[in-house]
C-alpha cells in the first residue's frame, strides 16, 4: 500500500470504550473505510475501559479517518456512564498525530490544527497539546486531563481553560479531548507480582520523585521522559507500573524496564514481564546490546498477552 518515499503520518487515538464490542468495531470500521489509510493495531483494555487504535497513511487520509472515528465516538459513547481504571476526560480522550516518514513536525502541526477546527465544529471542546500547544501549560496531557471528566464543568468556566476549538458549554456526553502533533510515545506497563496497590503506587511515586530531582544522575536522566502511575489490573490479577515513555531515544525501553525492576526489588516486589499498549517502532529496541528476539524475551512482552513482532512493530505492519 505504501512505499518508503510516501509522506506518512501515524495516528494513535485513545477512546473511552473497552467493553462494548459493537462500538469498538464501529470505530475500527470508520478508520478502515478511508482509502490510503492502514489500520495497524487495536488494543482493547477491558479494565481500563479504553481502546487504543493505531493507524497510518497519507496525511489528508489520516485526518479524514481520525475525524470519522471521533464522529462515531461522539454518536455512540456516553461519558456520563463511563467507568474504568484509566484516567479519562472524553469519548475520544486524546488523539496524537506523529510524523512517521517524509514529513516534518511543522507540517503535522498544521494537520492537527485542521482536524481540531473540524472537530470543534461538531461541538467538541478540543485542546491542542504537545508540539501543537498554543499555551505552555497545555503542552502536557496530564495538565489538560487533571480532574478528569468530572472537573470539566468548572474548568470550562475558567477563561484560562477556554478550548482551542469548539464550545465552552459542557458537552456531557462527549466530555472534551486533547489533540496534537508529538513524537513517538510508548505506552508501556510493567507487571508486578503483587496485588498490593499501595506499594505499587509508592513505587510509581518514587519514579516520579527521582525524575523531579533532575540532578543529572543516571536514573533522574533516564526518568526525565517517563511518566508513571500505579494501578491494579483485575484481568491479570496483578498491579502494574503504567508508564508513558515520551522520548524513546533518551529513555530506552530496556533501560526503563531494568531500572523499574530494581526499584521494585528494593520494595521486595518482583516483576513479571511487561505489556505494550499499541505498537512500537523497531528503533526502540536498537539501544539494547541484544538482538530483537532476545530483547522481547528480556522484557517479558509475552507474559500477560501475546506479542508478535510482525503484528506489534510498526515497520513490520506498515510495509507488509
143-159 b/e with 16+ CB inside 10 Å = b?
A: ebbeebbeebeebbeee
Given the residues 41, 82, 86, 310, select the one marked as catalytic: 86
Question: Could you tell me if 210 and 219 are in contact, meaning their C-beta atoms sit under 8 angstroms apart?
Answer: yes
CA dihedral 149, 154, 159, 160 (to 10 degrees): -50
φ, ψ of residue 132 to 5 degrees: the values are -90, -5
The verdict on whether 82 is a catalytic residue reads no
Which residues fall within 8 angstroms of residue 6, CB to CB, at 6 or more apart?
Answer: 58, 101, 102
| 258: β partners | none
What's the rounded Cα separation, in Å, for the pair 56 and 7?
10
Q: What does DSSP say about strands 14-15 and 92-101: parallel, antiparallel, or unpaired? A: antiparallel
Q: What residues are labeled active site? A: 86
Amino acid at each position: 500500500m505504501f512505499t518508503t518515499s510516501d509522506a506518512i503520518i501515524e495516528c494513535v487515538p485513545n477512546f473511552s470504550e473497552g467493553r462494548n464490542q459493537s462500538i469498538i468495531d464501529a470505530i475500527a470500521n470508520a478508520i478502515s473505510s478511508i482509502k490510503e489509510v492502514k489500520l495497524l493495531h487495536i488494543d482493547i483494555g477491558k479494565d481500563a475501559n479504553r481502546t487504543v487504535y493505531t493507524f497510518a497513511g497519507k496525511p489528508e487520509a489520516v485526518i479524514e479517518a481520525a475525524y470519522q472515528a471521533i464522529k462515531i465516538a461522539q454518536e455512540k459513547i456516553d461519558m456520563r456512564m463511563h467507568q474504568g481504571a484509566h484516567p479519562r476526560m472524553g469519548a475520544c480522550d486524546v488523539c496524537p498525530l506523529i510524523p512517521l516518514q517524509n514529513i516534518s513536525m511543522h507540517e503535522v502541526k498544521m494537520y492537527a490544527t485542521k482536524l481540531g477546527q473540524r472537530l470543534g465544529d461538531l461541538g467538541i471542546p478540543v485542546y491542542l497539546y504537545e508540539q501543537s500547544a498554543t499555551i505552555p501549560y497545555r503542552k502536557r496531557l496530564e495538565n489538560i486531563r487533571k480532574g478528569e471528566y468530572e472537573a470539566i464543568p468548572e474548568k470550562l468556566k475558567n477563561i484560562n481553560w477556554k478550548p482551542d476549538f469548539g464550545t465552552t458549554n459542557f458537552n456531557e456526553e462527549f466530555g472534551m479531548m486533547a489533540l496534537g502533533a508529538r513524537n513517538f510515545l510508548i505506552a508501556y506497563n510493567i507487571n508486578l507480582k503483587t496485588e498490593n496497590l499501595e506499594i505499587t503506587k509508592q513505587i510509581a511515586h518514587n519514579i516520579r520523585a527521582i525524575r523531579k530531582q533532575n540532578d543529572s544522575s543516571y536514573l533522574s536522566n533516564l526518568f526525565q521522559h517517563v511518566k508513571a502511575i500505579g494501578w491494579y489490573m483485575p484481568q491479570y490479577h496483578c498491579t502494574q507500573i503504567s508508564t508513558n515513555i515520551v522520548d524513546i531515544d533518551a529513555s530506552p525501553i530496556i533501560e526503563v524496564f531494568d531500572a523499574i525492576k530494581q526499584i521494585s526489588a528494593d520494595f521486595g516486589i518482583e516483576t513479571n514481564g511487561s505489556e505494550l499498549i499499541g505498537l512500537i517502532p523497531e528503533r526502540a529496541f536498537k539501544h539494547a546490546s541484544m538482538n530483537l528476539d532476545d530483547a522481547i524475551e528480556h522484557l517479558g512482552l509475552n507474559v500477560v498477552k501475546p506479542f508478535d513482532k510482525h503484528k506489534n512493530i510498526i515497520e513490520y505492519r506498515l510495509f507488509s
